[in-house]
Amino acid sequence: MDIRAAVFREVGAALRVERIVLDPPQPTEVLVRLAAIGLCRTDYHVMRGERRVAMQPMVLGHEAAGIVEAIGDQVQGVAPGDHVVLTFIPGCGHCRWCQRGLHHLCAEGPRITHGPQLDGSFRRRDAGGRDVGAFCMIGAFAEATVVDQASVLVIDKDIPLDHASLIACGVPAGVGAARHRARVKPGDTVLVVGCGGDGMNVVQGAKLCGASMIIAADIVAQKLEWARDFGATHGTTAQGDELISTVLALTDGIGVDHAFVCINPAETLLPAFRATTKAGNVVVTAITPDTVKQIDVPPLELFATQKAIMGAVYGFASPRLQIPELLGLYRRGDLKLGELISRTYRLDEINQGYADLDAGRNLRGVVLID
């Protein structure tokens, strides 16, 4: 079929909305009519060459919800008409990690930047007949996509699809970092550095965990106001040494129990580390550009303070477990989804959406497909 898609062709250039050919689903694949796609910063890192992908052209976009239109003859548990969200790491179901229920660590995960489908072949071609890749094996900045069933999660039809799209990436990434990686406990104190899509969800995750103090840090003052709506008790635009002293002043000089690094770890990890109490946790949820090869943390300080520095991808728990649970919290009014959406865009406005993200104007922009 012929679809419109926003294609990444060149580092540093705008995405090009063009017509491409999408082949029918193979036996284990699903054709999804996309409805809503979140504008996540990860795609922006790819556009700017900070997160390298193995090929161009490639359709970016990985935070998506839609409606199943057709399925291959070996697909199980998914039917035409189902509402689905797509997981940006496939859960192959066979590897060591998937068999332990750790689909976010699936052995196929490292291939999500390569371009082909899970089976290694391509389903997309441009007007010149050239293979077009699919970022995260999803390629969601498009009217439709074909993905392996390993990337598909069926959701209830009463969940609005624009809200559902956010549950595919930013919400579990942030909420899960607080709940499953740091394991924030009632009464704990928390610092969140960078209150964009991930960070704002760390804030609401920490609130769900019962944190007594949630300090939001961002250079954009508007985001600190939004953070209060999501549960932050304090806000600061301080950075570097000033951020450390601000946090220590708020915590009687001992630092927070958990610090979350949700933007630019090269600049924010060490201040977050030093704003954390002895034996506390520092959780990195943000991507660092490929060009940054290391971040300095004084090893004696690491040893003597007994702090843990840890990474969290996809909220450190299987999306197949987290997403239904998070939708349950949403239904009960304990999780904000619609409030995360600052603005919606048409597919051909996608570059404006990323300009707004870069300017700090959006908490989350969402592309809606008519």
Q: Return residues touching Zn ion (CB under 5 A).
A: 40, 42, 63, 92, 95, 98, 106, 169
Cβ atoms of residues 216 and 193 within 8 Å: no
The residue (of 101 and 240) whose beta carbon lies closer to Zn ion is 101
The residue (of 63 and 257) whose beta carbon lies closer to Zn ion is 63
Question: Nearest Cα to 29, choosing from 128, 107, 134?
Answer: 134
Cβ atoms of residues 174 and 315 within 8 Å: yes
Min dist CB 133 to Zn ion, Å, is: 17
Min dist CB 169 to Zn ion, Å, is: 3
Task: Classify burial at 306, counting beta carbons within 10 Å of its beta carbon; exposed 0-12, middle 13-18, buried 19 or more.
Answer: exposed
Question: Nearest Cα to 246, choosing from 275, 287, 289, 211?
Answer: 275
Rg (CA), the chain: 20
Min dist CB 124 to Zn ion, Å, is: 20
The residue (of 61 and 271) whose beta carbon lies closer to Zn ion is 61
SS3 233: coil
The residue (of 175 and 243) whose beta carbon lies closer to Zn ion is 175
SS3 158: coil
The residue (of 39 and 259) whose beta carbon lies closer to Zn ion is 39
Min dist CB 137 to Zn ion, Å, is: 12
Min dist CB 3 to Zn ion, Å, is: 22
Other Cβ atoms closer than 10 A to 187: 11
DSSP label at residue 155: E
| Residue 309 bridge partners (DSSP) | 282
Min dist CB 121 to Zn ion, Å, is: 19
CA distance 137 to 146: 9
Main-chain phi, psi angles of 216, to 5 degrees: -95, 130
The residue (of 29 and 63) whose beta carbon lies closer to Zn ion is 63
CA distance 227 to 199: 9
Min dist CB 188 to Zn ion, Å, is: 26
Question: Nearest Cα to 173, choosing from 95, 266, 287, 67?
Answer: 287
The residue (of 7 and 89) whose beta carbon lies closer to Zn ion is 89
SS3 75: coil
170: part of which helix (H) or strand (E)? helix 170-176
CA distance 312 to 10: 29
Min dist CB 331 to Zn ion, Å, is: 23
The residue (of 40 and 177) whose beta carbon lies closer to Zn ion is 40
Cβ atoms of residues 178 and 209 within 8 Å: yes
Min dist CB 41 to Zn ion, Å, is: 7
Cβ atoms of residues 43 and 68 within 8 Å: no
The residue (of 169 and 341) whose beta carbon lies closer to Zn ion is 169
